[in-house]
């Protein structure tokens, strides 16, 4: 039995001719090496370790022996297994010297490809400044609109002109759609004209429904014009809001609204051949209440209510661009007489 152990120990201490240390001829991986503090003391040269005890490093070769005698029982003549090549551990990127003094980016941190972070520094500054200006403009606009629709307060009393100048005319707001009193009437604006016939006589045309012309242009049109939707409607609303019940203008806004309505009327009559040049025009509104639904039980008078304006004498100043001046009396005949029971006194054209 002692001979067998000596033979096994001799096979474990077998050394290759190329100088590589001895080891197990078995193809399996070597057993783990015990920690240094638990390692057994070195054995003198030629000593045989006990079975199951770890082998010590020989002083001559510095190559550790196998831990058990049983591993030395592998077949003689089998080629030893080369150890796996060591994998180089990359150095710390922050400590890597690239020769340029720059620190390499940490692995696993890709450069942003979207958003402001992907831009260069000058463009990032430009983007931040632009976004700041847009945000400030939006805040100013919302503040102005809020002050416009809010009840009268200290700010609007002191800076009302600035608020109105910002809002009008593009951003005007009103409550006629959502409340407190939604619009429940259909308002039609009609006009008629006095013109000079071919025989020199003065004649009066029939009432022409200008609102119906806008309705025909809008109906069935997927993208109706803003002019057909709002020009006449808002102009007439502007006129009523700047005149009293006797059709007297309320300052400069009232006089401007009269000229605006006359221009709209002449623009519409320019497409109609009345038989002679227009001398004067008269405008009226026809207001008809919307009928209540059948389930409400409410009774609503749907008969039209007319509001008649005085006759306005037309001059060259009342002709918008594109209107044929040959269809009006370019001389501008004074204030004219009464027609249809309504005189022209009290209006800008009659003064």
Whats the size of the chain, residue-wise? 351
Beta pairing, strands 305-308 & 278-289: antiparallel
Using pLDDT thresholds of 50, 70 and 90, give the confidence band for residue 304: confident
The tens digit of pLDDT for each residue in 258-279 reads: 999 999 999 898 888 888 889 9
Mean pLDDT score of the chain: 72
The tens digit of pLDDT for each residue in 115-132 reads: 888 888 899 999 999 999
The pLDDT assigned to 216 comes to: 92
Give the angle subtended at the CA of 324 by the CAs of 319 and 327, to the nearest 5°: 90
**pLDDT surpassing 90 at residue 299:** no
Q: Which residue has the higher pLDDT, 21 or 232?
A: 232
The pLDDT assigned to 25 comes to: 47
DSSP 317: G
The pLDDT assigned to 131 comes to: 94
Q: Which residue has the higher pLDDT, 30 or 15?
A: 30
Can you tell me the distance from the alpha carbon of 181 to that of 191, in angstroms, rounded to the nearest whole number? 28
Using pLDDT thresholds of 50, 70 and 90, give the confidence band for residue 98: very low
3 state SS of 47: coil
pTM over 0.75: no
Can you tell me the distance from the alpha carbon of 300 to that of 289, in angstroms, rounded to the nearest whole number? 7
Tell me what percent of the residues of the chain surpass a pLDDT of 70: 58
Q: Which residues pair with 210 in a beta bridge?
A: none
Q: How many CB atoms lie within 10 A of CB 320?
A: 12
- Of 67-71, 115-119, 279-283, minimum mean pLDDT range: 67-71
- Of 3-7, 198-202, 267-271, 290-294, minimum mean pLDDT range: 3-7
Q: Which two tokens stand for residue 317?
A: 């100043």
The pLDDT assigned to 333 comes to: 40
Q: State the number of CA atoms in the 13 A half-sphere of 227 facing the CB.
A: 6
- Burial label for 61, CB within 10 Å (0-12, 13-18, 19+), is middle
Can you tell me the distance from the alpha carbon of 283 to that of 207, in angstroms, rounded to the nearest whole number? 9
Q: Which residue has the higher pLDDT, 24 or 154?
A: 154
Q: Which residue has the higher pLDDT, 200 or 112?
A: 200
Can you tell me the distance from the alpha carbon of 191 to that of 268, in angstroms, rounded to the nearest whole number? 10
The tens digit of pLDDT for each residue in 211-228 reads: 999 999 999 989 888 888
The pLDDT assigned to 225 comes to: 87
The pLDDT assigned to 160 comes to: 87
The pLDDT assigned to 214 comes to: 92
Using pLDDT thresholds of 50, 70 and 90, give the confidence band for residue 176: low
- Mean pLDDT, range 24-31, rounded to an integer: 53
| CA dihedral sign of residues 193, 197, 200, 204 | negative
The pLDDT assigned to 1 comes to: 56
Q: Which residue has the higher pLDDT, 82 or 74?
A: 82
- Highest mean pLDDT out of 14-28, 171-185, 243-257: 243-257
Q: What are phi and psi of 302, to 5 degrees?
A: -100, 10
DSSP secondary structure, 186-234, as one string: EEEEEEEEEEE-TTS-EEEPPPEEHHHHHHHHHTT-SS--HIIIIIHHH
Using pLDDT thresholds of 50, 70 and 90, give the confidence band for residue 114: confident
| CA dihedral sign of residues 189, 192, 193, 197 | positive
């Amino acid at each position: 039995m002692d001979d067998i152990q000596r033979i096994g120990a001799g096979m474990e201490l077998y050394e290759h001719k190329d100088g590589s240390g001895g080891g197990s001829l078995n193809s399996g991986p070597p057993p783990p090496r015990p920690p240094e503090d638990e390692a057994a003391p070195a054995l003198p040269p030629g000593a045989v370790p006990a079975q199951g005890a770890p082998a010590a490093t020989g002083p001559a070769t510095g190559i550790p022996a196998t831990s058990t005698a049983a591993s030395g029982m592998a077949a003689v003549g089998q080629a030893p297994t080369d150890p796996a090549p060591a994998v180089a551990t990359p150095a710390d990127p922050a400590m890597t010297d690239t020769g340029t003094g720059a620190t390499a980016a940490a692995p696993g941190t890709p450069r942003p490809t979207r958003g402001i972070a992907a831009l260069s520094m000058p463009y990032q500054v430009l983007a931040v400044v632009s976004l700041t200006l847009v945000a400030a403009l939006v805040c100013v606009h919302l503040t102005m609109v809020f002050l416009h629709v809010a009840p009268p307060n200290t700010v609007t009393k002191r800076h009302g002109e600035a608020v109105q100048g910002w809002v009008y005319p593009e951003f005007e707001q009103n409550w006629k759609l959502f409340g407190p009193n939604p619009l429940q009437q259909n308002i039609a604006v009609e006009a008629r004209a006095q013109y000079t016939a071919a025989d020199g006589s003065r004649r009066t045309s029939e009432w022409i429904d200008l609102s119906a012309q806008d309705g025909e242009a809008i109906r069935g049109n997927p993208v109706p014009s803003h002019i057909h939707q709002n020009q006449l409607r808002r102009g007439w609303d502007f006129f009523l809001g700047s005149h009293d019940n006797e059709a007297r203008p309320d300052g400069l806004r009232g006089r401007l609204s009269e000229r605006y309505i006359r221009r709209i009327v002449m623009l519409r009559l320019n497409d109609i051949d009345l038989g002679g040049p227009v001398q004067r025009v008269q405008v009226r509104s026809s207001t008809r209440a919307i009928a209540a639904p059948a389930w409400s039980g409410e009774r609503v008078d749907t008969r039209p209510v007319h509001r008649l304006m005085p006759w306005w004498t037309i001059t060259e100043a009342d002709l918008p661009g594109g209107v044929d001046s040959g269809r009006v009396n370019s001389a501008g005949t004074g204030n004219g007489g009464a027609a249809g029971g309504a005189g022209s006194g009290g209006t800008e054209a009659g003064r």
